[in-house]
Amino acid sequence: MENKLKTKACEHKIRAIHDVMYLIGGKWKISIIACLCYGNKRYSDILNEVEGISGKMLSRELKELEMNKMIERTILDTKPIGVEYSLTELGTSLKSIIDILADWGITYREARKLIEEQI
């Protein structure tokens, strides 16, 4: 009985992880969200800050993130008309996770560097 409960709990968590990966998975979404964690940005700012992303891919990813309520798009009253992107409350709730991922990535790079130096 206890084993079945553990299996159910594991299945529940795995389904939740799949949901998250559907929303923010892929090569670019986390980077876009991380970029917006530091404030609202225009399209060109995001394009410059997310190294390697093409304009076409950025447009597609922004539309998907907006559709999934992770970011919002605001049309600015400027000439020419500008657009600014920001995180929604839901998107902002990922900031602590992104910080943890970034910290882990830094630690990983440092560990890899030490290993490579020993070889």
What are the strands of the beta sheet with 41-42, ordered from one edge?
41-42, 82-87, 71-76
Single out the residue of 68, 69, 35 nearest to residue 52, CA to CA.
Answer: 35
Ordered by start, the domain boundaries in the chain are 28-118
**pLDDT for 9:** 84
Q: pLDDT tens across 11-44, in order?
A: 999 999 999 999 999 999 999 999 999 999 999 9
Q: Which overall architecture, per CATH, does domain 28-118 show?
A: Orthogonal Bundle (1.10)
pTM of the model: 0.85
